[in-house]
Structure 1
Amino acid sequence: MSDGPLTPERILEAAEDVLRRFGPAKATVVDVARVLGVSHGSVYRHFPSKAALRDAVTARWLARIADPLEVIAAGDTPAPERLHRWLRELIDAKRRRASEDPELFATYMALVDESGDAVATHVAHLAAQLAGIVADGVARGELAADDPVAAGRAILDATGVFHNPAHVAEWADPRIDARFEAVWTVLQRGLTKGLKKKAKAAAKAKA
């Protein structure tokens, strides 16, 4: 590990390295301190317990997934296009992590199981991003939804098989992308149902 001031970010990077090498069952704060060349007391000054350090590692990993999605959600392209792109990015991000570093992915899944609050916060954040896209689409006349918040959560739940790690074994299915597109088609139809009739009625009222 390179020299420099001991920061939370350096500690989290070292913790990730230790978790990759030893797994969550065997990794300790002492191992993290050894990688950094400091005492374990120095690590505890930033993270008061092993559980706090593991929660921070988990939150950091989840943020790496959520942050790029925030950029998509805040975009100005048509809402249906943003929703599709957002979902594809989430799916691809999870799939890349599972295929490129399966051991670390499995480690994080074990940590996620332990970090109920971090996961709940992450899921709520994702659902809020989707709700924001839906609300924007409704305001622009591109989507129809009485309750964008409920719609956002429903979209996340309906596509769970494609991004929830509990279904990782199914991601190797060669038909997985076609399955997603089929689900997306149904969701899009539901979110745009009635828009053409409303547009025709509005145009007729103006005539």
Structure 2
Amino acid sequence: MNDSVLTPERILAAAEDVLRRYGPGKATVVDVAQALGVSHGSVYRHFASKAALREAVLRGWLARSMAPLQAIANSRTPPPARLRQWFTTLRQAKRDNVLGDPELFATYSALAAEAGDAIAEHKERMQQQIASILAAGMASGDFRELDPPAAARALFDATARFHYPGLSHLWNQPGEDVAFTRLLDLLLAGLAPAPTPPRRRK
């Protein structure tokens, strides 16, 4: 490849392929450069270090995983159904990643361990999406008055059993789908506004 047509996007695509083939422990910038047919110096002109390149790969992967969730958060679906769909989509995406392609997920987990800031920002963005759904539900009267950011953190933590990769060994147990549905039912019931007490007859 001619250096003049080398772009960050091409480098990142090649880096993802190299990481998948060799794993994060063995993949090098030289491997990426060879896959592109350029010198490793050409890669360094776009990414200052191996760590910067690996973090950029991780951020790209996180951004792609966020897109479906952002689309749900931005939708016009009634907030209770939107919140249920958001958590259901998050859970399924995690299951697909962890259980469907464990080797690739292990690669990204290794990258994540090196880039704590990227992961913290990713979690913050997800919680912001939840908060936006909660705020929409308050405005529509579907949810009671609450502090959306604080409630979003609580909901994210309460559902971690079903989307935190560290607990993936539990995900294939019998009754998982039922347990997840029951938890969402309970959480949504807790978000609903209190019923108006009936008026007393004179």
Fold-level match, TM-score > 0.5?
yes
Partner of 2:142: 142
3-state secondary structure, aligned to 1:172: coil
Q: Structure 1: any 5+ residue segments left out of the alignment?
A: none
- Whether the 8 Å contact between 1:109 and 1:165 is mirrored in structure 2 is no
> Relative to structure 2, which stretch is displaced further, 176-185 or 29-38?
176-185
Q: 1:144 to 1:35 in 2, by over 3 A?
A: same
Query: Structure 1: how far apart are the matches of 2:100 and 2:36?
Result: 26
Give the C-alpha shift of residue 37 in structure 1: 0.8
Q: 1:133 to 1:112 in 2, by over 3 A?
A: same
3-state secondary structure, aligned to 2:25: coil
Partner of 1:29: 29
Partner of 2:187: 187
Query: Structure 2: how far apart are the matches of 1:4 and 1:192?
Result: 58
Partner of 2:114: 114
Partner of 2:104: 104
The total of aligned residue pairs comes to 198
Q: Structure 2: any 5+ residue segments left out of the alignment?
A: none
Partner of 1:125: 125
Query: Structure 1: how far apart are the matches of 2:30 and 2:173?
Result: 41
- Whether the 8 Å contact between 1:134 and 1:145 is mirrored in structure 2 is no
Q: TM-score, normalised by structure 1?
A: 0.90
Which consecutive aligned stretches of 4+ in structure 1 deviate over 3 angstroms post-superposition?
Answer: none
Query: Alpha carbon RMSD of aligned pairs, Å?
Result: 1.8
- Whether the 8 Å contact between 2:141 and 2:193 is mirrored in structure 1 is no
Give the C-alpha shift of residue 4 in structure 1: 8.5
Query: Structure 2: how far apart are the matches of 1:39 and 1:109?
Result: 28
Alignment of 1:26-105 (within 5 A): 26-105=26-105
Please give the per-residue CA displacement for 1:21-52, whole angstroms capped at 9, x wherever unaligned: 11111111111111111111111111100110
Give the C-alpha shift of residue 67 in structure 1: 1.3
Q: 1:45 to 1:4 in 2, by over 3 A?
A: closer
Query: Structure 1: how far apart are the matches of 2:27 and 2:168?
Result: 24
Query: Structure 2: how far apart are the matches of 1:55 and 1:72?
Result: 26
Query: Structure 2: how far apart are the matches of 1:173 and 1:36?
Result: 44
- How high is the sequence identity, in percent, across the aligned residues? 54
